[in-house]
Amino acid sequence: MELGWTVIELQAAQQIGRPIDTQKYDGMQLKWQMDNDEQVYVGDSALNLKGLVTLDGVPVNNAAKTCATSTPDEIRASINQVLSDAWAASGYSVVPRDLLIPPEQFALLSSIIVSSAGNQSLLTYLQTNTIS
């Protein structure tokens, strides 16, 4: 890979006092990490490689209802079921630590208030009251 800079890039780097090579290197590192993440999670269809979420041996379970139409108790039960199933699939050797959800569901969980005082969202409740 060849690195090159435009006059505009050089001027911008000079104005902020940051070496241009550091910016390019940081950008290349970010791109490399993003490519690795994509390869690990979804694989590469051009090379016929499977990722963690596209492996044939990974069971697909769909919730009965969406988060938007579920009550907080139903959401909690669904999340606990997913975590318990993942734990069982590992032979109870590794407790799940992370649950990856789409940004829309993350925003929904953080906006649902579960305490009568109005100071705790469903997201913070789940972070402290699930097995992970």
Three-class SS state of 112: coil
Give pLDDT, residue 3: 63
85-97: average pLDDT: 89
What are the domain boundaries of the chain? 7-50, 67-128
At 54, the amino acid letter reads: T
The residue among 92 and 2 whose pLDDT is bigger is 92
| pLDDT above 70 as % of the chain | 98
Contacts of 103 (CB under 8 A, 6+ apart): none
Three-class SS state of 52: coil
Q: Is the pLDDT of residue 1 over 80?
A: no
The CB density around residue 67, as the number of other CB atoms within 10 Å, is 20
Q: Kind and range of the H or E element at 49?
A: strand 49-50
